Amino acid sequence: MLVVLFDPDTLLHQTVELLGSKLIPALESPKRLEAILKSLRISEHDVCTIRASSGDRGEGKARLFRVISESHHNGYLEHLRDVHDEWVSAGLIEQDGHVMPECFWLPTSTGKPMRPPRDPFARAGYYAFDMSSGIMSESYQAIIASANLAYEGTDMLSGFSVNASGSDVDTVLALCRPPGHHCDGRRAGGYCYINNAALAASTWRASHSDAQIGILDIDFHHGNGTQEIFYADPKVLYVSIHGEDEFPYYTGAEDECGIGAGEGANINFPLKVGSSVEEYMEKLEQALQHLLDFKPEFLIVSLGFDTYHSDPLGHFQIHTEDYATIAETIRRKLKDVPALILLEGGYVIEHLGANVLSFLKGWKS
Ligand code: Q9C
Ligand code: ZN
């Protein structure tokens, strides 16, 4: 059985980004989720609404934060929570303003370690790597709601058993926003603030120690954050198919294979801009073979619809019906592996709903 998870608090985050030299409303907007929800409702697909912000204030929340802390720095999490208020108190912005970085941390020859500046204005550039990760008054609430969907979704799946003695939920689609795969645990970027995939992996491990976990990242962009977090980890296989030389520009090459004990557990498939669905499917088959050989007991799919042919931030020749083929191919190859599907990017609002429905149809076929 497949469950779709949604938290209305994820709609609260709405910020700006730098495009060229203009500050514009971020393409990663609440309208994306509204479009997806509308399509799901029209097709009478059940959507399960859960709220990070209600009820469970005690042990559940504490557990969520414990798991988030495994892959995210405490100073960074405090920054996400506090920086907007600090900027308002310092008179840098009004309540309805947006925190944006000015100067980023950069490596120097001094040998001095990275250290967060005390000044909250300066600090924005220490905890971010680009200007697509603004912070407004309700960002933090949405960021936690988004992360909580990954956390709760993983919990729902951890009771799954193939021989029907446990739960029959074998797939969860978590309608996360903001997305997660560009966040490396100490820097926001590419619309991402908490790495939802890393959080899901930590959540799974809390009840299945030593588990082999597979991550398939099929957002158009390379998931630099997820790669970074698991780069030395032999128990997590990260496999990504993404646009070559595209954002985030500095990662995603084929020769990035992992390090130390994690060598071999990181596989990148950069694909030329403008690639056809045939070229895409060829890479997908290879990616899935690697995942199958790894024998994961839990699969995380970072799913972006910015591979869509007319996406403003992506450049593959993929159409609505292709998402069914992609989903069916993943499911056929990795059947019986409980799967958490996390929404990442995808910016053509008018077609997002249809693309999600197509993916779900293929997954269930
Ligand atoms: N500023 C995801 O798809 N930069 N992130 C775009 C205009 C950010 C994409 C260029 C692209 C981020 C999750
Ligand atoms: Zn993307």
Could you give the ipTM of this predicted complex?
0.96
Q: Are strands 266-271 and 339-343 parallel, antiparallel or unpaired?
A: unpaired
pLDDT at 287: 98
- Max distance between CA atoms of the chain, in angstroms, equals 60
Distances from the Cα of 360 to the Cα of 4, 86, 149, 354, angstroms = 10, 42, 18, 10
Q: Going by C-beta distance under 8 Å and a sequence separation of 6 or more, which residues neighbour residue 361?
A: 324, 327
Nearest CA to ligand 1 atom 3: 345
Torsion angle, CA of 239/265/222/286, rounded to 10 degrees?
-30
**182 included as an active-site residue:** yes
Q: Are strands 48-49 and 171-174 parallel, antiparallel or unpaired?
A: unpaired
Tell me phi and psi for residue 54, to 5 degrees: -115, 165
Please, are residues 4 and 46 in contact by the beta-carbon 8 Å criterion?
yes
Distance 296 CA to ligand 2 centre (A): 24
pLDDT at 147: 98
Mean pLDDT split into 10-residue runs, the chain, 365 residues: 97 96 97 98 94 72 94 98 98 98 93 92 98 98 98 92 76 98 98 98 95 98 98 98 98 98 98 98 98 98 98 97 98 96 98 98 95
pLDDT at 145: 97
Please, are residues 154 and 18 in contact by the beta-carbon 8 Å criterion?
no
Mutate to test the pocket of ligand 1, among 182, 192, 305 (most ligand atoms within 8 A of CB): 182
162, amino acid identity: V
Nearest CA to ligand 1 atom 12: 190
Residues with CB under 6 A from ligand 1: 17-19, 132, 179, 182, 190-192, 219, 221, 247, 304, 306, 313, 344-345
Closest ligand by atom to 32 CA: 1
Q: In what order do the strands lie in the sheet with 171-174?
A: 48-49, 2-6, 171-174, 339-343, 298-303, 213-217, 236-243, 266-271
Per annotation, catalytic residue among 84, 182, 221, 222:
182
Q: Going by C-beta distance under 8 Å and a sequence separation of 6 or more, which residues neighbour residue 208?
A: 158, 297, 298
Beta bridge partners of 2: 171
Question: Which fold is adopted by the domain 2-73+142-364?
Answer: Arginase; Chain A (3.40.800)
CA distance 199 to 63: 12
pLDDT at 57: 59
Task: Work out the number of other CB atoms within 10 angstroms of the CB of residue 331.
Answer: 20
Ligand 1, atom nearest to 345 Cα? 3
Nearest CA to ligand 1 atom 8: 190
Mutate to test the pocket of ligand 1, among 132, 242, 251 (most ligand atoms within 8 A of CB): 132
pLDDT at 162: 65
Angle between the N-to-C axes of helices 139-157 and 74-89, in degrees from 0 to 180, rounded to the nearest 10? 150
pLDDT at 113: 87
Residues of 291-307 as b/e, b for ≥16 C-beta within 10 angstroms?
beebebebbbbbbbbbb
pLDDT at 300: 99
Please, are residues 250 and 225 in contact by the beta-carbon 8 Å criterion?
no
Distances from the Cα of 320 to the Cα of 310, 317, 328, angstroms = 11, 10, 14
Nearest to 211 by CA among 199, 219, 203, 220: 203
Distance 27 CA to ligand 1 centre (A): 8
H helices of the chain, in order, are 30-42, 59-71, 74-89, 120-123, 139-157, 196-207, 224-229, 277-294, 320-333, 349-364
Distances from the Cα of 145 to the Cα of 310, 311, 327, angstroms = 29, 26, 26
pLDDT at 122: 97
**Domain limits of the chain?**
2-73+142-364
236, amino acid identity: V
Q: What is the DSSP letter of 99?
A: B
